[in-house]
Amino acid sequence: MKLYCFGESGHSYKAALALQFAKIDWTPVFVDFFNGEARSEQYRSQINEMGEVPVLIDGNTKLTQSGVIQTYLFNKTGKHGGGNEAEKLEVLRWILWDNHKFSSVVGNTRYLMNFFPQDRRPQPVIDFNLARLKGSYGILEKTLTGKNFLVGDDITHADMTCCSYLYYPEFFGFERSEWPNIDRWLENISKIPGWQHPYDLMPGNPSERT
């Protein structure tokens, strides 16, 4: 399989982790997002009309959107999607919550605070997002009380989708030390064979750009 991605993309990291933890042979294909590749006519016409990553290529199958890719990998491998029907629905619930309420806000806030020109950063928007995120961190913290993973006793796609942005070093209002259950959960995930930091797992790193 091939995954169109870049290291700074937390949504790509969800798919990359899913591939790693399922022990699938895959190759990252670097998308030069910061120089506009994903917005180019060639990319939109040949790779993804939405101008986004990740994009998974598996033979003749091409998939976009991290939640769809995760669902596809579960259907293909039977791994990390929940053991029974109730757990499968719970995994889906967390994927939908994350994509709508959590990682979309984290990704936007992290971009504005770290990669957007400083003199153009909309501080009221950033402050609003930080307040929203504090509530979301609280939801995760409470859910993980006395639990190693979000659904069941082992890692699922619920964990992979929700954890993705929380390993990045750039500041976006999240301090692991302030959330002990989340900190423990992230540590649990990082001990699973195949785990790598996003900047090690995928090409592309802020240090490579001026």
CB atoms inside a 10 Å sphere around CB 102:
23
For the CA atoms of 135, 163, 185, 187, the dihedral, rounded to the nearest 10 degrees, stands at: -130
Q: Which amino acid is at 89?
A: L
Write out the two tokens for 70.
């995760």
A 10 A CB-CB count for 3 gives: 24
CATH number at residue 72: 3.40.30.10
Q: Are residues 96 and 140 in the same domain?
A: yes
Are the CB atoms for 11 and 186 separated by under 8 Å? Answer: no
What residues make up the domain containing 62? 2-79+195-208
Domain count, the chain: 2
Could you give phi then psi for residue 9, rounded to 5 degrees? -85, 110
**Residue 209 pLDDT:** 78
Residues 57 and 103 in one domain: no
198 is written with which tokens?
A: 């996003």
3-state SS of 11-58? HHHHHHHHHHHCCCCCEEEECCHHHCHHHCHHHHHHCCCCCCCCEEEE
Q: Are residues 184 and 151 in the same domain?
A: yes
- Whether residues 121 and 56 fall in one domain: no
What CATH number has the domain bearing residue 184? 1.20.1050.10
Q: Do 90 and 164 sit in the same domain of this protein?
A: yes
pLDDT at 92: 98
* pLDDT digits (tens), the chain, 210 positions: 999 999 999 999 999 999 999 999 999 999 999 999 999 999 999 999 999 999 999 999 999 999 999 999 999 999 999 999 999 999 999 999 999 999 999 999 999 999 999 999 999 999 999 999 999 999 999 999 999 999 999 999 999 999 999 999 999 999 999 999 999 999 999 999 999 999 999 999 999 976
One domain for residues 96 and 179: yes
Query: What CA–CA distance (Å, rounded) separates 7 from 118?
Result: 22
> Does one domain contain both 183 and 106?
yes
pLDDT of residue 210: 60
Residue 60 host element (H or E) = none
89 and 184 housed in the same domain: yes
Asked if residue 54 lies in contact with residue 5, where contact means CB atoms within 8 angstroms, the answer is yes
pTM as predicted:
0.96
